[in-house]
Amino acid sequence: MIHNFNAGPSHLPAEVLEEARQAIVNFNGSGLSILEIGHRTPLFSEVVAEARQLICDLMQLDNDHEVLFLHGGATTQFMQIPMNLLDADETMHIVHTGVWSKKAIREAQCFGKVNILASSENNNFNYIPVDFCVPEAGKYFHITSNNTIYGTQWHKIPDAPIPLVADMSSDILSRKLDFNAFELIYAGVQKNIGVAGASLVVVNKKILGNVSRDIPPIMDYREHIKAESMLNTPPVFAIYMSLLTLRWLKNAGGIDAIEPVNKEKAALLYDVIDNSSIFKGTARREDRSTMNVTFTAKSREIEQAFLKYAAEKGIYGIKGHRTVGGFRASLYNAVSPDSVKYLISVIKEFESGHNG
């Protein structure tokens, strides 16, 4: 058995894969594959409608918040958000916490002014800055709620007197938050919701229609809302996989039930790393992520040896991002506590071999 800790695309529940396998051959007894049905048929519009409804339910969204499944991953949202929200003479504020916020900054600069309120670049993004105040003069304020690469996470969402926008690609649906406090939330679905090919956008429709530029219709959130997330052929399979995973989460008790499990998984792993004589966590303790646990080994040799050892033991996807090095274990919703305990046993075994 392989234990998958990949950062994204990432592990999916076994029963979701089993159901998907069935649907690829014969979707809902229709005699057709999910891959070949028309997206404008009731067979598929029910899929989109249920997936959108499940997001509303799980996140407890109010009536102003619309749910969209769009093409292009989170990266397209780095561009689409400022195109819809930011005029050329307006400013958006952002806290810079890594590679992903850098891309959000770069894309937004194509449309308006970007003010970096705070940054943790001075320490290779191993912490979440706290020393800043969001000004009232500004169109919106952007954060990356969980920094997949560095293993940092905002544990307290900052107050902002202007609309709050968050890239939640790697921690959406993992913990309780007041999601209605955000005017826009986006996430590539391949980390904590489904498979590559779609992004989730949750937007408060009240903030739309407030820029002077002519937005190309395919990029205009209002057009997607009007078309109920079916403006053109949607990423059918990615949405279907999201539906299965959302159902799985709902059946498991939703965010209320998964949050303590996620906390426990992360606490177990951090505890082993903190008590290790050869491994060391890379993120500042109070900002550590429950989703991506980043750590390094004492030396390059040990690092190489552990990667090899872990692979032999059936552990997949724990090599750290090249900008941080070392290791990263991603503990998304679908990763079971048993897999985490298995990883811990492998770390301990390896460590005793290196001390003995």
Ligand X SMILES: *Cc1c(COP(=O)(O)O)cnc(C)c1O
Report the interface residues with ligand X, using CB under 6 A.
8, 73-75, 100, 144, 148, 167, 169-170, 188, 191
- Shorter beta-carbon distance to ligand X: residue 245 or 278: 245
Tokens standing for residue 104: 């959000």
315-316 and 3-4 strand pairing: parallel
- Shorter beta-carbon distance to ligand X: residue 148 or 229: 148
- Shorter beta-carbon distance to ligand X: residue 81 or 346: 81
Least spacing, CB of residue 186 vs ligand X, in Å: 9
- Shorter beta-carbon distance to ligand X: residue 104 or 272: 104
Least spacing, CB of residue 200 vs ligand X, in Å: 10
Least spacing, CB of residue 7 vs ligand X, in Å: 7
96 contacts 116 by C-beta, under 8 angstroms: yes
Buried b / exposed e across 50-71, counting CB within 10 Å, b at 16+? ebbebbbebbebeeebbbbbbe
191 is an active site residue:
yes
Catalytic residue among 191, 220, 265, 287: 191
Catalytic residue among 100, 139, 171, 265: 100
Least spacing, CB of residue 72 vs ligand X, in Å: 7
- Shorter beta-carbon distance to ligand X: residue 11 or 279: 11
154 is an active site residue:
no
C-alpha span between 329 and 83 (Å, rounded): 35
Least spacing, CB of residue 163 vs ligand X, in Å: 19
139 is an active site residue:
no
Catalytic residue among 102, 154, 167, 287: 167
Positions marked catalytic: 100, 167, 191
